[in-house]
Amino acid sequence: MRMKAQQHEWMVAFTADRQYLADIAMNILDDAGIECYLVNKTDSVLLVGDIEVYVKQDMLLKAKHLLNNLEA
């Protein structure tokens, strides 16, 4: 039997190309009580790639609303 994991799946709420923007996003979400984590997909040699901030699926809309004015 498959368990419903929908509410526990993690989704990308914000993507940035600079670390400080991802940190600001994390702080905004943390201050709002939204559990989040960061995945840095930047290549350490070429310094290209994105940094993604993840939230649980059931908090995705709220997180995106809070981060709406933060430009990446």
CA gap 16, 36 in Å, rounded: 15
The residue extents of the domains of the chain are 6-66
Q: Which CATH number does 6-66 carry? A: 3.30.70.790
Q: Which run of H or of E encompasses 11?
A: strand 10-16
pLDDT digits (tens, 9 = 90+) for 5-58: 455 699 999 999 999 999 999 999 999 999 999 999 876 666 678 999 999 999
Q: Which run of H or of E encompasses 58?
A: none
**pTM of the predicted model, to two decimals?**
0.80
CA gap 55, 63 in Å, rounded: 7
Structure tokens at 47: 């310094």
CA angle 45, 51, 55 (to 5 degrees): 150
Strands (E), 1-72: 10-16, 36-40, 51-56
